[in-house]
Amino acid sequence: MKVVYDWLEEYLGENAPSSEKVADLLTFHAFEIEGTEVKGDHTVIDVDVLPNRAADCLSHRGIAREIASITGVPLAHDPLTVRPELPTTDKLVATITNPEHCSRLTLALMEGVTIGDSPEWLKSRLQALGQRSINNVVDATNYVMLSLGQPLHAYDAAKWQEKDGTYHVGVRAAAAGETITVLTGETYELTPRAQLIVDTTNDAPASIAGIKGGTYAEIGKETTTIILEAAHFNPSVTRVASQFLKLQTDASKRFENDLSPELTPYALDAVVKLITDIAGGTLVGITDTYPMARSQSRVAVTEAKTNALLGLSLTREEMKDILVRIGATVEETKEGFVAVGPWERNDLDIEEDFIEEIGRIYGYEHVAPIVPEQILLKEINARHYYSERVREVLIGLGFFEVITSSFRKKDEIRLQNALASDKEYLRSSLKKNIIEVLDKNIPLVDVLGVRDIRVFEIGTVFSKGDGGVTERFSLAFGARTRQDGYNPKDDAVLTEAMSVLEKDLGVSLGTQIEKGVVEIAFTELITQLPQPTVYEPQPVGAEIQYKAFSQYPHIARDIALWVSEGTTAADVIAVLQKEAGDLCVRITLFDEFTKDGRTSFAFRLVFQSYEKTLASEEVDTIMEKIYAAVKGNDWEVR
């Protein structure tokens, strides 16, 4: 959520901390800051609002309220403090087909509006946040959404089908195959997963509820009478529709996080005042349909549990003061108090929620670190224990552990909402993944410094069962010894590995090798093994420094040479590396023998750049330097 600092100042008043201080306060007490930048005359702060706070903090007022809670200085201006008193009108009729999908629909009717450009101050703020100015009425709805968090939509009442002097607005599920053209020109074919705002008189769709407006009653230059809509849509229904249509908007993002339905009249009051100021017009009245009212939870918070969980010694008054600062109402009890969170927040439902608020506002830096007491394990996790045993054996045999995707392009179980066209199915086996890893990595044996590729994976696989989808663990390992694909020698590598595993585990694996890959039902295998009673101690390995790998292809060159007896391979490697330079990323000794008082060494040199694809001529030039160095040491190239 990007916020404009001078916009926050309107809520915080003259006691507002500096933009730098705001960033620090939010970082240590609420949210991470992605960055701060200057856009025109504005300082923009990018706040990483957490999902549990998106309902109230995807707005300038929400962020300002958070700063006020942290500093203990009340907001100078809070539009959510006093419930607005708005006149009602019988010229608007609101209908909700399914209250579980739309729990509130609040409408306002304004007349005498003049459509035109927005004032510069409004344009400037919207542009600082990457918003494009459209016209004064549409800009006003966007501005209030960014101010208070409530999405709004404006319709041209003249394009609505008037019936007996009234405008009928409804919310219903879309029909299968029903289409709507949105304001940006795209046409979407809908399913009942999506909801629509409709002109109830002729059942014409006017917008995709909670996501995007349609062209049916689009605001234009001739518009003078407008219908303003503020609603509360079910977050799950909104998200499903947004994902299905592949259409995410600022509005859908907010509805997906379950805004408070209590916000609609406040947002309408704010937008009516702003439109009156910048576009003229008068409010005829509102209508409010609210069949499923929501109430905040009353939660008992005890002084003892709060201090025990936080590791603090706060007094009851200190706790109460913090909760009042966040906007909660507090009633004292014998053991603590009963707290009710502010109506705009949906994340304060249990005692631990309020305890967390006390801790973060007070400051976790005040919590002294305490080394916990050692407690003996009551149960050993058999899957973890035997996974480690298998890893230790296979790694000792030269295998690399890999982690591959759980999704496949084709398999048994298809996902309803796939991440991508090549990830539409859940894997039922690890074999295909292992084969793909082997095929991709066998050309890299030189740069990896190995003679063959050996990999294994311990991971979940999925299958259909009587009760639905069954998830279990599987162990698969495979080998490639040649670059032209499967070779019977691959099976020999796996036969040895299976023999060592069977000896270590004390059971027969009872499975067949299939063209260089073997897969074992690991969940079932564990049931045949004794329950472990203690974890085996793991030695602390040497510190390893990892670095990025090059994405460019490598070139390999072999050199075999005679050296005098007593010259070691390390001596030769030192000379080769010095002449080869930084482009030589690996030197591997692959052959050695002694004859007639001389020793023969054969090395493979691997060249690779981090910046470009090397040309063969470049490597040839380096090799000429190496041959000269070999000759200078009285060694003989074979």
pLDDT tens digits, one per residue of 465-479: 877 889 999 999 999
pLDDT tens digits, one per residue of 238-282: 999 999 999 999 999 999 999 999 999 999 999 999 999 999 999
Say whether domain 298-362 belongs to CATH 3.30.56.10: yes
In the predicted model, what is the mean pLDDT of the chain?
94
Give the up-direction half-sphere exposure of residue 149: CA atoms within 13 A in the CB hemisphere.
30
Instruction: Give CA–CA dist 444/606, Å, rounded.
Output: 10
pLDDT tens digits, one per residue of 184-210: 999 999 999 999 999 999 999 999 999
Q: Which class for 407: exposed (0-12), middle (13-18), buried (19 or more C-beta within 10 A)? A: middle
**Which CATH number is correct for 92-289, 3.40.50.261, 3.50.40.10, 1.10.10.10, 3.20.20.60?**
3.50.40.10
User: Which pLDDT score, from 0 to 100, does residue 484 have?
Assistant: 86
CATH number of 382-527: 3.30.930.10
pLDDT tens digits, one per residue of 83-139: 999 999 999 999 999 999 999 999 999 999 999 999 999 999 999 999 999 999 999
pLDDT of residue 559 exceeding 90, the answer is yes
- Could you tell me the residue ranges of all domains in the chain? 2-71, 92-289, 298-362, 382-527, 555-637
Instruction: Give CA–CA dist 145/135, Å, rounded.
Output: 15
**In CATH, which superfamily holds the domain spanning 555-637?**
Ferrodoxin-fold anticodon-binding domain (3.30.70.380)
CATH topology of 2-71 equal to that of 298-362?
yes
Tell me the sheet residues that pair with 421. Answer: none
- HEC secondary structure over 100-151: CCEEEEEEEEEECCCCCCCCHHHHHHHHHCCCCCCCHHHHHHHHHHHHHCCC
pLDDT bracket for residue 536 (50, 70, 90): confident
Answer yes or no: are the C-beta atoms of 112 and 157 closer than 8 Å. no
Instruction: Give CA–CA dist 549/529, Å, rounded.
Output: 40
pLDDT of residue 378 exceeding 80, the answer is no
Report the topology of domain 2-71: Phenylalanyl-tRNA Synthetase; Chain B, domain 1 (3.30.56)
pLDDT of residue 419 exceeding 90, the answer is no
- Quote the percentage of the chain above a pLDDT of 70: 100
pLDDT of residue 15 exceeding 90, the answer is no
pLDDT tens digits, one per residue of 318-365: 999 999 999 999 999 988 999 999 999 999 999 999 999 999 999 999
What's the pTM value of the predicted model, to 2 decimals?
0.67
pLDDT of residue 377 exceeding 90, the answer is no
